[in-house]
Amino acid sequence: MPKTGHFHFALTLQNFALKNRIVYVIFCILKNNFLLIKIIYFKERNLRIRFMRKYPVRFLPAVLLAGLLLSAGCSDSGNRPYSGQHLLQFEEFQSIPTNGARDWRFFTIGNDSFLVVANNFNGQTPNIDSKIYRWDGTKFVEFQTIPTNWATQWEFFTVANDSFLAVANNNMGGGIFDIDSKIYRWDGTKFVEFQAILTHGASGWKFFTMGGDCYLAVANNRSGTANFTIDSMIYKWDGEKFVEFQAISTNGALRWEFFTIDGDSFLAVANYSTDFTTNFNIDSKIYKWDGSKFDEYQSIPTNGAHDWNFFTIGSVLYLAVANLHSGPYQTGLEIDSKIYRWDGAKFIEFQSISTSGAVGWGFASHGPDSFLAVANWKNDAGSYLVDSKIYSWDGSRFVEFQSIPMNGASDCEFFIIGSDLYLAIANVGGGTAGPNTESKIYRQKRRLF
């Protein structure tokens, strides 16, 4: 019989569904050698104890006791959890019908939380409504529709006391890419159109501030049907509206990322291709602010780069790129995407992660845990039914933590409401299912203790 008197306690927690409730069974080995069994559930958000009883440990079979201790993550040297045991997986929380969804953006105004989706195609036209959803305390409900043109990304930002949403409108169909993207301002009850900006196959916005000034950078993907080496543009707030500030030559640009390091400001652009047919293995660029403009600072070889994501873990700085594909005509999708680490002067390769048509990264720190999610769009067999992945930080690198089945995933966005961590994944759809599919919201399982 194992000796247990030196344990403070050992705990294992199991849950199961019973009569539409999640019921939790808790086993505790107390210091006085009693086993406490407690069955609890939640009713109307209140904790209810259904059953509780103590048993002397000496009456428990040794095998049962050992099983309880192991499932509790304990050994005879103390109450030590196994590596990674504290991590809780994400479970599906809500499905939302979308039309070729390309992007989710979470934001708050006052005490209200919102999610906006960029819908880009319904199978017939790219000129459709994108939608804003508001949190009602238990789920997201439709709040407002906004007409868009092959919407690819939303950006939320504030200037002074005003809240804004900018949408990147890519095209109107028929090869018309030189169109207006729009900025909307919150009027206290809804978003209203504020400013139209001529863009060229716009694929992403990035808002940032430097020295009290506000800027908005657009990634212009193409002009017309064949010109991909064009200028992307940075706009500056003049007190009333955004005006052109700096043009930067890009190659089929898809996204911008802004970050600061030791007081220095940087912009990274994801360059996708020079011709959209054969040449995708090109450099993406990092630019550094020189006090009056952005200058090229570092080139990084990428493969059909679709997205950058900057994040920190402790005091270490990282930059992850989503490589979409390396071959012509959307082939070579199953390739490595890369994470780079700042070495004090530049970004150096830190870790390669196998991805399948990667289009976006999402990062979150929640309590002691750090997660990195990738939206995998398509595989080399032509299927859009590809798992997106969540990776967890193990102290030295990212390791695969959870696979989530998706249908042409195109974006992932972590966010927190209250104490809960959520992950929204946009499904662009594809194949025989078409673009009219459901996008998903996942929530990390709740911890009781």
Statement to judge: residues 435 and 391 lie in one domain: yes
Q: Is residue 84 part of a domain?
A: no
Statement to judge: residues 326 and 402 lie in one domain: yes
Statement to judge: residues 171 and 36 lie in one domain: no
Q: Is 394 helix (H, G, I), strand (E, B) or coil?
A: coil
pLDDT tens by residue, 116-137 = 999 999 999 999 999 999 999 9
Tokens of 422: 């959520």
pLDDT tens by residue, 79-118 = 333 345 578 999 999 999 999 999 999 999 999 999 999 9
CATH at residue 172: 2.130.10.10
Q: Is 63 helix (H, G, I), strand (E, B) or coil?
A: helix
Within 10 angstroms of residue 287's Cβ, the number of other Cβ atoms is 22
Share of the chain above pLDDT 90, in %: 77
Gap between the terminal Cα atoms of the chain: 29
- Can you give the pLDDT at residue 394? 96
pLDDT tens by residue, 351-394 = 999 999 999 999 999 999 999 999 999 999 999 999 999 999 99
Is there a contact between 221 and 200 (Cβ–Cβ < 8 Å)? Answer: yes
Q: Is residue 189 part of a domain?
A: yes
Q: How far apart are CA 121 and CA 99, in angstroms?
A: 6
Statement to judge: residues 216 and 287 lie in one domain: yes
Q: Is residue 390 part of a domain?
A: yes
Tokens of 437: 């599919």
pLDDT tens by residue, 152-200 = 999 999 999 999 999 999 999 999 999 999 999 999 999 999 999 999 9
Going through 2-60 in order, the beta strands assigned E by DSSP cover 11-18, 21-29, 34-43, 46-56
Q: Is the pLDDT of residue 222 over 80?
A: yes
Q: How far apart are CA 102 and CA 151, in angstroms?
A: 7
Domain that holds residue 326: 90-444
Whole-number mean pLDDT of the chain? 88
Q: The pTM is what?
A: 0.82
pLDDT category, 29, cuts 50, 70, 90? low
Q: How far apart are CA 362 and CA 384, in angstroms?
A: 20
Statement to judge: residues 149 and 208 lie in one domain: yes
Statement to judge: residues 42 and 175 lie in one domain: no
Q: Is residue 56 part of a domain?
A: yes
Q: Is the pLDDT of residue 58 over 50?
A: no
Q: What is the CA radius of gyration of the chain?
A: 25
Q: Is residue 81 part of a domain?
A: no
Statement to judge: residues 60 and 154 lie in one domain: no
β partners of residue 398: 393
Reading across the β-sheet that carries 334-342, which strands appear in turn? 305-313, 316-323, 334-342, 347-356
Give me the helices (H) in 207-270, please: none
Q: Is residue 160 part of a domain?
A: yes
Q: How far apart are CA 395 and CA 83, in angstroms?
A: 11
Inter-CA distances, 244 with 134, 184, 193, 233, 382, Å = 33, 18, 19, 7, 41
Statement to judge: residues 65 and 148 lie in one domain: no
Statement to judge: residues 126 and 17 lie in one domain: no
Domains contained in the chain, number: 2
